[in-house]
Amino acid sequence: MAKWTPKHEAPEPLEGPVVATVVGGTILWFALFLVQLPFYAWFDDRGWAWWVWTCLAGAGLGLIGIWYVRGRDAAIRRAKAERAKAEESAGAESAGANARTARPDV
């Protein structure tokens, strides 16, 4: 069987409101946990108690996700700022070099 190779370059990943999405999902999981909690006995009688705990696990994992995506967002912003600073200093250095090597009109 031949190895599959892509015929074109992969597209850039889509960036969106990642932090807001994860926060919203975490709130939703926790709200579902709170809504189901008063009915725990009903769920337990039918063997569905795992539904309640799944919602709590989703909320807990969402908290980890919030921590992760906030750190990722901060790292992306830092990298952009460093890249812009490096480009700015490179542009200033090349402008200075051009000024030193330019010959005055005689």
User: Which tens digit of pLDDT belongs to each residue from 23-63?
Assistant: 999 999 999 999 999 999 999 999 999 999 999 999 999 99
The verdict on residue 26 lying in a domain is yes
- What is the domain range of residue 24? 18-92
Contact criterion met (CB below 8 Å) for 25 and 62: yes
- The answer to whether residue 101 is domain-embedded is no
- Distance, C-alpha 78 to centroid of its chain: 14
pTM, to two decimals: 0.70
Tell me how far CA of residue 33 lies from CA of 22, 49, 54, 62, 83, in angstroms: 17, 11, 8, 13, 43
How confident is the prediction for the chain on average, in pLDDT?
89
Checking if the pLDDT of 99 tops 60, the result is no
For residue 103, being part of any structural domain is answered with no
In a domain, 73, yes or no: yes
Side-chain half-sphere CA neighbours of 77 within 13 A: 6
- Count: domains in the chain: 1
In a domain, 86, yes or no: yes
